Amino acid sequence: MAKKKEKYSPMMTKYLELKKDYQDAIVFYRLGDFYEMFFDDAITASKELNLALTGKNAGVKERVPMCGVPFHSATTYIEDLVKKGHKVVIVEQLEDPKQAKGLVERGVVQIVTPGTIMDLKLNEKVNHFIGALGIFDFCYTLAYADISTGEFYCMNLEKDERVLRNQIRTLDLKELVVNDDFADDSLMVTHYDNEHMSDRYKKLFEEVNDLKEIKVAVNLLNYMLETQKRDLDYIQPLAEVRQSDYVTMDPSTKKSLELTKSLSGDKYGSLLWLLDHTHSAMGGRMLKNWIENPLLDQKQIMQRLDMVEIFVNNFIERETIINMIKEVYDLEKLASRIAFGNVNARDLKWIASSLKIIPEIRHQLYALNDPVLNQLAEQLVDLSPITQIIDDAIIDNPPLVIKEGNIIKQGYSAELDEYRDLKANGQKWLTEFEEKEKERTGISKLKIGYNRVFGYYIEITKSQLNMVKDEFQYTRKQSLSNAERFITPELKEMEDKILSAQDRIVSLEYEIFSQVRQYIKGYVHQMQDVAKVVARLDCYTALAALAAKNGYMRPTFNDDHRIDIVDGRHPVVEEVISRQNYIANDCHLDAKANIMLITGPNMGGKSTYMRQVVLTAIMAQIGSFVPAKKANLPIFDQIFTRIGASDDLVSGQSTFMVEMLEANNALRYATENSLIIFDEIGRGTATYDGMALAQGIIEYIAHHIHALTLFSTHYHELTLMNENEGVKNVHASADVSHDTIKFLYKIQAGATGESYGINVAKLAKLPDEVINSANVILQSLLNNSQVSETLHQVKKQTVVVQKESEVEKALAAIDPMQLSPIDALSTLIELKKLLPE
C-alpha cells in the first residue's frame, strides 16, 4: 500500500500558495496580534532581527520553523530588514475574524522595498529616493522619487556610465528599477517593466515634453503603485532636472570638499553642518539639495542672494519668522501620510498646529514689502478648513493607535455621544447592581468583574459559596481555585448592551477619523505647495542668520574669468577654531595668470587655503553670503579636485592610480569656465616622475584648458615657470628663526625655496640622530641636483601639438541627436571624402 502523502493544515496551505508569488521576499503573515514568518523566512528573520526561532504544528510530522513580531511594533522590524537589503511582503487579515466563516481571508496589502519605505521618521533632513533607469541609444534617462514626501523628478544624462554612476551616488538611491541589464552592487537593482500610463495619473506628466523621461517615470510610478497596493494621489507632478542648470561635481570632489559629510563620515565638520541652521525638515532637505547642486544661472543666484540680503538687513522680522518656522512640523511628509493612509490622530494634531502658523508667516512677509516675498506670501494659501475640522473632531492628546477609540471629541458626533452615554451609564448601573446584589443575597464579598473571554460576571469566594441559593438565579460561568463566577439574566442583558456600545464606539470613532482623513486628503497638494514655500523661507533665513552672525558678505560676479577674494576664510575651520585667531587670506587670479602655484611647508595651510576658495565659490553659487571682506567671482560650470591620498582597495587601485584617474577626469572634462584644485599631484610616485607629471599637467592646463586652477606642490623646481606661462607663484609663509618653525598661515606672493620638512619632523620630536642624518643627506642632494636647470630648459622647448584634422572639426560641429537616419548616412559619406588619400 502506498504511503499517504502528508498534507499541511488549511492555513499553512493558503500561506504556501501566497508565498509562491514572493519567493524573493520575507512574508509578514498576520495571525491575530502578530505578524508571523515561516520556513526559510523565519530562519532568515530570526537571525537578522535577533528573534527567537520556534516551531508551529502545521498538519505534518515536523514542526514548521516560525518566528513573529507584534503587529503594533512591526514598523521598526520591517525597516531593519529592508535596510539590510530584504523585501518585505505584508499580508493582512481582510475580514473580521469574529465574522469569518472558516479561514480568515488574507491578502497582500503592501510590499516594502529599500526604495519604498513609507513609515520613515518625521523631521528627517534627508531624502529617501528610489530611481528608475532607461537606457537609450544616445543617453541615459533617470527618474527618481521620494515616496515619503511625494517628490518626483526626471533627467537625461549623457551616455557615459561614469556620469550615470556619479548621479546615482549623489542622489544616494536606495533602489534602482531597470528594464535592461544594469549591475551595481552598491544598491538594490530591481528588474521591472510596465510603461502603461493610467489616465488617472496623466496630469503628473503635463509639464514634461520628453517622451523618454515620461516613459521611464511612468515605469517608476507603476512600480510604486504595484508595491504599495493603493492610490498614490499625493505624488507631485514630474519635475524635469537639467544638468546644464547646475555645477558639475563628481562624488570624489564632493567628498574631498566635505560638502555634506566630513571625511570621517559625520555631518559635523561639513559645509552642510555649518550652513544648516534650518528649523524645519523641509528646509533642511532643500538646503542639502542646494549645497549638492550649486546654480549656474546668475539670475537665479541673484534672486536667492536678494532674499538672503533682505533677511540679513531685517533682524526683527527674520527672528520672528524663524521662531514661527520652529513651530511647523514636517508638512511634506504629513501630507503624504494623509493620502497614503498611514496617518494617525497625533499626526493630525501636528498638521493643525503647523497650519495655524501659516497666516502669521504670511503677515510677516507682507510687512517686508518686497515683490518676491509678496509672491511667496500669496502662495501661503488659506488652509483653515483643515485646522477647523481637526480642532473640532480630534481630542487634544490622542493616542497613536487609531482603531481602539478615545480619539474623537465629545460633541462632534451625536451618535457617538449616545453610545458613550450608554457605556457611562452602564458603568454606573454595574456599581449599583453590585451593591443591590450584596444587599439582596447578604454576600458581603460579592463583586462584579469583567474579562475579555468571559465578559461580565459575579464573583463569590469559596468561603461564602454556601450562601448562594437557587432563588438568586445564579448560573455558574467559571470556576477558580478560590472563587466561583456566575451570571444572572439581568447582568447578561446589560452585558450585551454595554459591550455592543463599546464595540460600536470603537468602530464609529474609526469611521469618523477616516472621514476626517478623507476630507483633508482633498487639500494634500495645497499642503505640499505651502511646505515648499516654508522650506525656501527656512533656507533664506538660516543663511541670513549665519551671515549676520559670522560677518559674511554678499558676493558679486564677473564675466572676466577672474577670482578676486579679499580676506577670505575657510568657513568650517573658522567656525571650529576661535574666529579671532583665524588668519584671512586673499586670492587673485585672472585670465593672464590663471594658475596659482602654491608652495610651502606641510601643515602650513595650503590645503585649507585651496578649499576655502572652492567653498567660497560654492556658497556664492547656492545663493549664500561668503566668508570674505570682498568676493568677486566668475560663475563656474564644473569643479574638479584632487585633495588627499587614498587607496581604492576594493578595485585594487593604488593612491597614485586614484590620483592619476582623478587628474585625468579634470584634464578631459574641464573647460575654461571650470575651477580645478590639485593638491600635490605626483607625490604618489618617484620624485622625478612626479615632478615631470606635475609640470606636464600645469602646462596642459595653461595651454589648452585655461581653467582657473590652484595647484599646491613641494616640487619647488616648478616655480621656475613664470607668469608668461599663466602661472602665479605664492607660498604659505613660516618663521624658522631660532632653529624652530612657526606656521604663519599667511599666503604671500612669490615662491618659497624649501619645504621645511626636516623642521616639521623636528617639531614632531623625531630622534636627534634621524634629524641630523637627514640634514646631511639633504645638503648633499641639493648640491648635486640639476633638476631645476633641466626643467628650466625643457620648459623653453616648443611642444608640438598635432593640429585638429578637418574630419575632427566636422565631427565637433555635428549633433547626432538632431540627425535623421538619412542625414546620418549623408554625413558619413561627406566625412569619408574629407579623409586624406
pLDDT in tens, 287-316: 999 999 999 999 999 999 999 999 999 999
Among 168, 169, 175, which residue's Cα sits nearest to residue 190? 175
Cell 619632523 appears where? Answer: 761
> Is beta strand 483-487 parallel, antiparallel or unpaired with respect to 54-56?
unpaired
Q: Is 255 helix (H, G, I), strand (E, B) or coil?
A: helix
Sequence ranges of the binding site: 600-607
Residue 495's pLDDT is 87
Residue 552 or residue 481, greater confidence = 552
Lowest mean pLDDT among 36-40, 169-173, 695-699: 695-699
Given a cut of 50, whether residue 565 has pLDDT beyond it is yes
Residue 647's pLDDT is 37
Residue 6's pLDDT is 66
Among the candidates 211, 245, 279, a domain finishes at 245
What kind and span of H or E run contains 164? helix 161-171
Q: What is the mean pLDDT of residues 805-814?
A: 66
Residue 754's pLDDT is 62
Q: What is the 3 state secondary structure string of 262-327?
A: CCCCCCCCCHHHHHCCCCCHHHHHHHHHHHHCCECCHHHHHHHHHHHHHHHHCHHHHHHHHHHHCC
Average pLDDT of the chain is: 86
**Any idea of the CA torsion for 774, 779, 780, 785, to the nearest 10 degrees?**
120
Given a cut of 70, whether residue 795 has pLDDT beyond it is no
- Cβ pair 517, 343 in contact under 8 A: yes
Q: Is residue 826 part of a domain?
A: yes
Given a cut of 80, whether residue 132 has pLDDT beyond it is yes
Q: Is residue 253 part of a domain?
A: no
Q: Are residues 586 and 702 in the same domain?
A: yes
Residue 762's pLDDT is 59
Residue 785 or residue 191, greater confidence = 191
455: alpha, beta or left? (left if phi > 0; alpha if psi -120 to 50): left
Q: Which residues contact 736 (CB under 8 A, 6 or more apart)?
A: 742, 756, 759
Taking the C-alpha atoms of residue 27 and residue 38, their distance in angstroms, rounded to an integer, is 8
Q: In the chain, how many domains are there?
A: 6
pTM of the model: 0.83
What proportion of the chain, given as a percentage, has pLDDT over 70?
84
- Cβ pair 629, 567 in contact under 8 A: yes
- Cβ pair 594, 546 in contact under 8 A: no
Q: What is the mean pLDDT of residues 335-356?
A: 94
Residue 32 or residue 643, greater confidence = 32
Lowest mean pLDDT among 97-101, 118-122, 552-556, 761-765: 761-765
Taking the C-alpha atoms of residue 122 and residue 80, their distance in angstroms, rounded to an integer, is 17
Residue 178's pLDDT is 93
Q: What is the mean pLDDT of residues 806-829?
A: 65
Residue 183 or residue 434, greater confidence = 434
Burial class (CB in 10 A: 0-12, 13-18, 19+), 600: buried
Rg (CA), the chain: 36
Q: Which domain holds residue 437?
A: 414-503
Q: Are residues 693 and 836 in the same domain?
A: no
Task: Retrieve residue 556's grid coordinates.
Answer: 558679486
Q: Are residues 569 and 681 in the same domain?
A: yes
Given a cut of 90, whether residue 560 has pLDDT beyond it is yes
CATH number at 188 reads 3.30.420.110
How far CA 728 is from CA of 58, 150, 746, in Å, comes to 81, 50, 16
Given a cut of 60, whether residue 794 has pLDDT beyond it is no
Per-residue model confidence as pLDDT tens digits over 213-262: 999 999 999 999 999 999 999 999 999 999 899 999 988 899 899 999 99
Q: Which residues contact 445 (CB under 8 A, 6 or more apart)?
A: 460, 461, 463, 464
Q: What is the mean pLDDT of residues 815-819?
A: 63
Per-residue model confidence as pLDDT tens digits over 456-482: 999 999 999 999 999 999 999 999 989
Lowest mean pLDDT among 90-104, 753-767, 792-806: 792-806
- Cβ pair 35, 71 in contact under 8 A: yes
Q: Are residues 38 and 170 in the same domain?
A: no
What proportion of the chain, given as a percentage, has pLDDT over 90?
58
Q: Is residue 661 part of a domain?
A: yes
Cell 534602482 appears where? Answer: 176
Q: What is the mean pLDDT of residues 478-506?
A: 89
- Cβ pair 377, 269 in contact under 8 A: no
- Cβ pair 659, 697 in contact under 8 A: no
**What sign has the CA pseudo-torsion 774, 777, 780, 782?**
negative
Residue 820's pLDDT is 61
Among 122, 173, 169, which residue's Cα sits nearest to residue 282? 122
CATH number at 479 reads 1.10.1420.10
Residue 813 pLDDT level (bands cut at 50, 70, 90): low
Q: Is residue 409 part of a domain?
A: no
Given a cut of 60, whether residue 654 has pLDDT beyond it is no
Lowest mean pLDDT among 171-185, 301-315, 346-360, 467-481: 171-185
- Cβ pair 314, 544 in contact under 8 A: no
Taking the C-alpha atoms of residue 183 and residue 181, their distance in angstroms, rounded to an integer, is 7
Q: Is 562 helix (H, G, I), strand (E, B) or coil?
A: coil
Among the candidates 475, 503, 531, a domain finishes at 503
Q: Are residues 630 and 778 in the same domain?
A: yes
Q: Are residues 654 and 745 in the same domain?
A: yes
Q: Are residues 348 and 362 in the same domain?
A: yes
Residue 247's pLDDT is 96
CATH number at 667 reads 3.40.50.300
Q: Is residue 266 part of a domain?
A: no
Residue 787 pLDDT level (bands cut at 50, 70, 90): low
Taking the C-alpha atoms of residue 349 and residue 392, their distance in angstroms, rounded to an integer, is 11
Residue 113's pLDDT is 93
Q: What is the mean pLDDT of residues 262-276?
A: 93
Q: What is the mean pLDDT of residues 127-146?
A: 94
Q: For residues 430-447, b (16+ Cβ closer than 10 Å) or e, as one string?
A: beebbeebeeebebeebe
Taking the C-alpha atoms of residue 627 and residue 574, their distance in angstroms, rounded to an integer, is 9
Residue 765's pLDDT is 63
Task: Retrieve residue 369's grid coordinates.
Answer: 514689502
**What sign has the CA pseudo-torsion 444, 445, 448, 454?**
negative
Residue 692 pLDDT level (bands cut at 50, 70, 90): confident
Burial class (CB in 10 A: 0-12, 13-18, 19+), 140: buried
Q: Are residues 565 and 692 in the same domain?
A: yes
Phi first, then psi, for residue 671 (nearest 5°) are -115, 180
Our CA angle for 85, 258, 298, nearest 5°, is 110
Q: At what angle do helices 687-700 and 655-669 cross, to 10 degrees?
A: 10
Sequence ranges of the binding site for ATP: 600-607
Residue 800 pLDDT level (bands cut at 50, 70, 90): very low
Residue 651's pLDDT is 41
Task: Retrieve residue 477's grid coordinates.
Answer: 460561568
Residue 3 or residue 225, greater confidence = 225
Lowest mean pLDDT among 354-358, 639-643, 755-759, 799-803: 799-803
Q: Which residues contact 478 (CB under 8 A, 6 or more apart)?
A: 454, 457, 484, 485
Burial class (CB in 10 A: 0-12, 13-18, 19+), 101: exposed
Q: Is residue 405 part of a domain?
A: no
Lowest mean pLDDT among 25-34, 152-161, 451-460, 540-549: 451-460
Q: Is residue 290 part of a domain?
A: no
Q: Are residues 713 and 577 in the same domain?
A: yes
Residue 665's pLDDT is 83
Task: Retrieve residue 132's grid coordinates.
Answer: 528608475
Q: What is the mean pLDDT of residues 106-112?
A: 93
Residue 804's pLDDT is 56
Given a cut of 50, whether residue 649 has pLDDT beyond it is no
Residue 418's pLDDT is 86
Given a cut of 70, whether residue 836 has pLDDT beyond it is no
Residue 3's pLDDT is 45
Q: Are residues 694 and 622 in the same domain?
A: yes
Q: Is residue 52 part of a domain?
A: yes
Given a cut of 90, whether residue 663 has pLDDT beyond it is no
Residue 656 or residue 147, greater confidence = 147
Per-residue model confidence as pLDDT tens digits over 534-544: 999 999 999 99
Q: Are residues 224 and 353 in the same domain?
A: no
Q: Are residues 781 and 812 in the same domain?
A: no
Given a cut of 80, whether residue 792 has pLDDT beyond it is no
